Amino acid sequence: MGFPYPYPLGLPKGTVRSTLTILLSIDLFIITLREEPFAEQVASIVLVALAFYFGGRMRSKGTIVPRSPTARADRAWGLPAGTIRTLLILMYSAFGVYLIINGKPIPDYYVEIATIIVGYLIGQMFNKVKVAFRRKRGVKEEHLHKTSLIEHMNAILAITIVSITIYFTIYQDTFKFLDFWINLASIYLGFYYGERN
């Protein structure tokens, strides 16, 4: 059972993603002006938001990519969908294994990138499971990607997490678990954009 409107919270397509991206950008501007030591971490979230927002906007019909004889030519390097993302994930994974095997320290930024990728992959898997579950329930193909209560709850949770992040970084910059919270926000936003993509 879906809602009468096609996108989360009844807003136009991409509104939640664009709002989250704008709010995070404003937060980054403020803490950069204040020269906060955690600005680099927040910057990683903003970069993720920007990358997934613009990447998600390139799809022409929601989560359904039209099939045509020329569809492959419209993708990066003429490769099947997801090839470049898969290659990047494999590269980052291989580099991480290389560092561990050789006893080299894992840089902080690498951990941030890994949390973003993990969140995105969890979101992608969640979306695939959701669609498979809907197919199993006998939902017609044209209704598989319609917005349900889960997407609305997910949008509300994403907005809440971003709002709390903004509050902590602007008003509670001495919060004991700020680093942990920023990493959690990064993982969840990766999940949100992965699930919505």
pTM tops 0.75, yes or no? no
d(CA 168, CA 27) in angstroms, rounded, equals 10
Apex CA 103: angle with CA 84 and CA 111, to 5°?
45
Per-domain residue ranges of the chain:
8-55+109-196
d(CA 97, CA 118) in angstroms, rounded, equals 15
Q: What is the pLDDT of residue 144?
A: 72
Task: Tell me the HSE value of 46 on the side-chain side, using a 13 A CA sphere.
Answer: 17
pLDDT level of residue 164 (50, 70, 90 thresholds): very high
Q: Which two tokens stand for residue 187?
A: 């993982």
Give how far Cα 19 sits from Cα of 14, 37, 51, 148, 169, Å: 8, 25, 14, 20, 18
pLDDT at 52 over 50: yes
Could you read off the pLDDT of 11-41 as tens digits, one per residue?
Answer: 776 677 778 878 887 887 788 768 788 877 8
Across the range 102-122, mean pLDDT stands at 72
Across the range 165-188, mean pLDDT stands at 87
Give how far Cα 42 sits from Cα of 54, 87, 94, 150, 182, Å: 18, 26, 26, 27, 7
Q: What is the pLDDT of residue 128?
A: 84
Residues 6+ apart with CB under 8 A from 174: none
Q: Which two tokens stand for residue 100?
A: 């561990």
**% of the chain surpassing 90 pLDDT:** 7
